[in-house]
Amino acid sequence: MSLITVGTMAFDAIETPFAKVDKIVGGSATYVAYAASNFLKPVQQVSIVGYDFPEAEMNELRSRGVELDGVEIVPDKKSFFWSGKYHTDMNSRDTLITDLNVLGDFNPIIPDSYQGAEFLMLGNLMPKLQMSVINQLKVRPKLIVMDTMNFWMDTAMDDLKQVLTKVDVLLVNDGEARQLSGEYSLVKAANKILQMGPRFLIIKKGEHGALLFHDNHVFFAPALPLEEVFDPTGAGDTFAGGFIGHLAKTKDISFENMKTAIIVGSAMASFCVEKFGPERLKEITKADIDERLAEFVQLVNFDIDLV
Ligand code: AMP
């Protein structure tokens, strides 16, 4: 069982109401890989970095079963750089800088050794590149999950809509679901988005959990109430990594199993926000994950006697 993950590997500068960091490793594919590699190996990464991306980070990923044959290293350019500032509620943020750098001329090439993967995670990236990856796969994966963000809706909406026709699951946050559909009600937004291609839609609502839509069904996964959210950066990608990691591990892509998968995604995201960047994800063990999943079970477990 293998999983291809595509996305950015980056440096981020992050400012929250409580702390600030000028340069930390980030990127959509980095977070997905750290999360998913807890559930299956190999995770086959496709991305691009510049001369400045730390070799130690690459080795850390390799040691977790992340294959980097599909990660291009450009010797004379800098890695993708993103900078964001969170509002006091930590659920919303402003993007301050997006420096594409190496991403500007990225042309992802899927290594032969990655062909035949049954799961594909299209992390947040230019929609054209997400499409190019789909087109290069000789056998369509059993499940294609796609993440995106408002930046691409603002700059490449037509391309994004093309990719939507090719994927099974779309992951967006509530603001992005509204922007994509033009509907304020999330139920109406979901109905419209499900007409655009994906059979499943996940709408993430930060500290208010996530909704999974499929046909006329909807399922809700809470976020774990945490005393302190230190840095929400990467929570969405980490959620995605936990979600697809669980599906790939269990090889079951039913709606029922996706319910479990969004709980797993929420549990992984709850770790991510506890420290800056992917730091916390590097510390956790299987026992930590199991313990947190048990907390989620308790969070939503109740009896009711209907008379
Ligand atoms: P998240 O908080 O889950 O939305 O993910 C944040 C990560 O996405 C950061 O580590 C950034 O490096 C990366 N990122 C930010 N903007 C973009 C973009 N336009 N395309 C791809 N990745 C991005």
Distance CA 178, CA 21 (A): 31
- Probe ligand 1: pick from 34, 82, 103, 128, max atoms within 8 Å of CB? 82
Give the pLDDT of residue 58: 98
Query: And the tokens for 299?
Result: 């969070």
- The pTM score is 0.96
- Does ligand 1 lie within 6 Å of residue 8's CB atom? yes
- Does ligand 1 lie within 6 Å of residue 231's CB atom? no
What are the structural domain ranges in the chain?
3-300
Q: Which atom of ligand 1 is nearest to the CA of 232?
A: 2
Distance CA 96, CA 88 (A): 16
Give the pLDDT of residue 147: 97
Identify whether the C-beta of residue 131 lies closer than 8 Å to the C-beta of residue 148: no
**pLDDT means per 10 residues in the chain (307 residues)?**
94 94 97 98 98 98 98 98 93 91 95 97 96 98 96 96 98 96 98 98 94 96 90 96 98 97 96 95 97 94 87
Q: Which atom of ligand 1 is nearest to the CA of 236?
A: 3
Q: Yes or no: is domain 3-300 CATH 3.40.50.2300?
A: no
The radius of gyration of the chain from alpha carbons, rounded to an integer in Å, stands at 18
Q: Which atom of ligand 1 is nearest to the CA of 12?
A: 12
Say if residue 17 is exposed, middle or buried (CB neighbours under 10 Å; 0-12, 13-18, 19+). Answer: exposed
- Does ligand 1 lie within 6 Å of residue 236's CB atom? yes
